[in-house]
Amino acid sequence: MRDADVLIVIPAHNEAENIGAVLEEVRHLALACDVVVVDDGSRDGTLEVVHRLGIPCIRHPYNLGYGGAVQTGLRYARARGYEVVVLMDGDGQHDAGQAPMLVETLRQTGADLVIGSRFVERTGYRVPALRRVGMAFFSLLTWVFAGLRVRDVTSGFQAVSRRAVVFLSEEYPLDYPDAETVILLVRSGFRVVEQRADVRPRRSGISMHSGLRTLYYPFRALMGVIIVMLRTLTRPGRAA
């Protein structure tokens, strides 16, 4: 059965070794829907792989970062009237077969954002110690500033409602958006929930959360949250 109201958005930066397998997996979904890849200035042939498979692709001429790629995908979805957007990474970590579950949870609960979480239940997914500390910090930020306990704030596997798509297409944080996005949505009147999702090891390449970025990320996230707090103090309850 085809669900023409759902769009899968896949941000990708230098994922030529992974994106082909990801797109083949998406093609075999029980939830047959539209797909678009946002190639964020890749230099390794990502665009060629996507074109070879006949999948629509939006290309940034240079790298804008993950947030910029997601925002481009959300604007594409808004302009074409999709009711639900599923965000998933291009590195093969997310199981496309679980996308229908996220969409169903979104529809059944009336939520605006469903986060595919590795930690709602035990899934056997192991996180390096330093990243685990960072994730705990982001969860603490969402608890303190949004009053919401989110176990897996950094998950890029998400389902987004139409009204959140419209909002985030203009408001999406462009640098390291994880905690910022959740706090921004909750403080603007949107509803966020978590749903178990299994995550696999990255097929190849390097995560954007690796290396020195692991140390920089918490400081940048905190600054972003402070900016969100200042912005939302002047416009509470926007989503109503």
Mean pLDDT (whole number) for 69-86: 97
What CA–CA distance (Å, rounded) separates 134 from 101?
27
pLDDT value of position 240: 47
Weakest mean pLDDT among 61-65, 77-81, 203-207: 203-207
Instruction: For residue 192, list its beta bridge partners.
Output: 113
> Which residue range forms the structural domain that includes residue 191?
2-232
| Phi and psi, residue 159, nearest 5° | -115, 135
Weakest mean pLDDT among 69-73, 88-92, 230-234: 230-234
Is residue 165 in some structural domain?
yes
Is residue 24 in some structural domain?
yes
Is residue 240 in some structural domain?
no
Read off the CATH number of the domain in which 214 is found. Answer: 3.90.550.10
Structural domains in the chain (count):
1
On the question of pLDDT at 213 being above 80, the answer is no
On the question of pLDDT at 226 being above 80, the answer is no
pLDDT bracket for residue 1 (50, 70, 90) = very low
pLDDT value of position 122: 65
Is residue 237 in some structural domain?
no
Mean pLDDT (whole number) for 142-165: 92
On the question of pLDDT at 205 being above 60, the answer is no
What CA–CA distance (Å, rounded) separates 141 from 153?
10
Specify the pTM. 0.85
pLDDT value of position 5: 93
Average pLDDT, the chain: 85
Higher local confidence (pLDDT), 147 or 174: 147
Is residue 6 in some structural domain?
yes
Mean pLDDT (whole number) for 7-23: 96
Is residue 160 in some structural domain?
yes
pLDDT bracket for residue 127 (50, 70, 90) = low
Is residue 238 in some structural domain?
no
Q: For residue 178, what is the DSSP state?
A: H
Is residue 129 in some structural domain?
yes
Strand bridging mode 84-87 / 158-161: antiparallel
What CA–CA distance (Å, rounded) separates 160 from 183?
15
pLDDT value of position 201: 72
